[in-house]
Structure formats: structure tokens, C-alpha cells
Copies of this chain bind each other. A is one copy, B any other.
């Protein structure tokens, strides 16, 4: 069964829009998300535009703050501090990657954790790890929302996560091993130093592929009946498309799908859920 992330994301955004309607009807301003975009990276442009469109769908106000790619670290930090203290900004994100001359880590740590709707600030990551209320990073939050909305119980399941990134693998591992729902999974994290990834993957009730290696999860790595979540979104050349590329996931979809109980497609799986999760966080930032 295909886990239709696009459809479930639409449902979540519709729920949020209904809440925003009620907020506005009660005479309050809508939530406001700002996206900071430095330079003109093609991928970043399109991600930011998708986020702005999702804001519109949710009834949020959204602003794209475009900054020249030659901006200095000091000037960028000043922009962050201004956003931190702007009363009419509930949450903001700095679209990554930043140009190479900028210190990404310092920029992320300058964001007020209460407006850090991407959940990348150490305070939010620490609170996530400790099981305290926080902004959860959007991709793992989107994945757990997808599992919940699809009625997939995680308790007691063995979840194997391929990849240990700060934005997907590690936070998702933490979220799924915590007490409660979704959670209570036995969690295994594999990565480039794992000698036999296939053997680990085959033990998964829930298999999450987040390595960024297109098509690398093959049918022999999947236990029949498993739930397969594909986080990969690599642009691969495709001469049949006008733009010359298409998105490809980490899973060999055509051969794996027949084996699974559930699988996310690429595109239309985790990607839209990530954006829905960002909308969810923005509404939280407004409410708090």
C-alpha cells in the first residue's frame, strides 16, 4: 500500500487552515513564517517557494527574506537578531545550505529557540533527546505524523534507520525510541561504517532509508510485510523531463513495493510531509 504523503499532508494543512480561520475570525492576526534565503541556489529557491505556498494554503502570512549571496556573517546575524525580536514573526527558518563563506552553525545557534521552527537549535535538539516539549525537526516529525495518520502502530516494532544525519537519522531514532506513541520502537541506526547494512535492514518492521544514495535499498534488503519510508530526494538526470532531472529516492521502488505492507513514493511521500510538519511547528510557535 502506498503511503500517500501528498494527500495526508493536504489533510494536515486543511486542519491547520481551519484552526487559522478560527483564530482570524476571533479577531487575531494569522501566524507568520519568515524564510531567509541567501543567494540563488536552485534547490533552495524551490524549497522556499513550496514552503510559501504551504503557508498560503494554511492561511499563514509568509515572507521570503532574500539576501545577497555576498552578505557578511555579521550582517546575517543582525538579520537573525532582528527576526528574534520582531513581535509579528512567530517562526523563521534559514534555508540551508548557506554560501561557503558563512558559518552555518553560528547562524543556526543565533535563532531564538522559541522561533526555531526547523528544530535545529541545540536547545531544541537537547529537549528532543530528553523527551521534553520542543520544536521537532520537520522531516522526522513529518515521518511520525505520516505513520500516525496511516494508523501504523510503532510500539514494539523494530525500526532500522539507514543514515545518521543531524536532520533525519539521529532525531528520528530518538523520537521512535522514546516512550509513548509514536515511539516505543526498538531502534537500530546503520551508517557508512556498518559492515552488513542488508542484514540489519532485513530485520526491520519499519525501514527508513535516509542515506541519499538513489535506489540503494533493494528488494533483498526488505522483510516481506515491512513498512518502508524513503527519505531520499536526489536529483538524477532524466532526459525525458523538460527540466532534465527527476527526484529519485533511496529505495528501488519498483522491486521493493510489491514486498511491503506500506511504502512512501518519491516524490509525494516524505517531502510533502516535511512541509506539513513545518506548518504544524509554525502554528505551535504562534500558539505558545
Q: In the bound complex, do residue A129 and residue B131 qualify as a contact, i.e. CB atoms below 8 Å apart?
A: no
| Residues from chain B with Cβ under 8 Å of A171 in the complex | 129
State in angstroms the CA–CA spacing of A128 and B128 once bound together: 12
A61 within 8 A of B: no
Segment of A13-21, A84-92, A184-192 engaged in the interface with chain B: A184-192
A195→B153 CA distance, assembly (Å): 14
Contacting pair A189 B170 (CB below 8 A): no
B191 touches A189 (CB 8 A): no
Q: Are A191 and B174 in contact (CB under 8 A)?
A: no
Are the C-beta atoms of B126 and A122 separated by less than 8 Å? Answer: yes
Q: Which residues of B contact A178 (CB under 8 A)?
A: 164
A222 to chain B, nearest CB (A): 18
A101 in the interface (beta carbon within 8 A): no
B-side contacts of A125, CB under 8 Å: 125-127, 129-130
- Nearest CB on B from A158, distance (A): 8
Query: Is A124 part of the binding interface, using a Cβ–Cβ cutoff of 8 Å?
Result: yes
Q: Measured between alpha carbons, how far is A188 from B203 in the docked complex, in Å?
A: 12
- Among residues 223 to 260 in chain A, which have CB atoms less than 8 Å away from a CB atom of chain B? none
The answer to whether A50 has its CB under 8 Å from any CB of chain B is no
**Apart from A122-B122, A126-B127, A164-B177, what are 12 other A-B pairs with CB-CB below 8 Å?**
A105-B132, A125-B126, A125-B127, A125-B130, A128-B129, A129-B166, A155-B193, A164-B178, A170-B174, A185-B193, A186-B188, A187-B189
Which residues does A use to contact B, with CB under 8 Å? 105, 121-132, 155-156, 164, 166, 170-171, 173-174, 177-179, 184-191, 193-195, 200
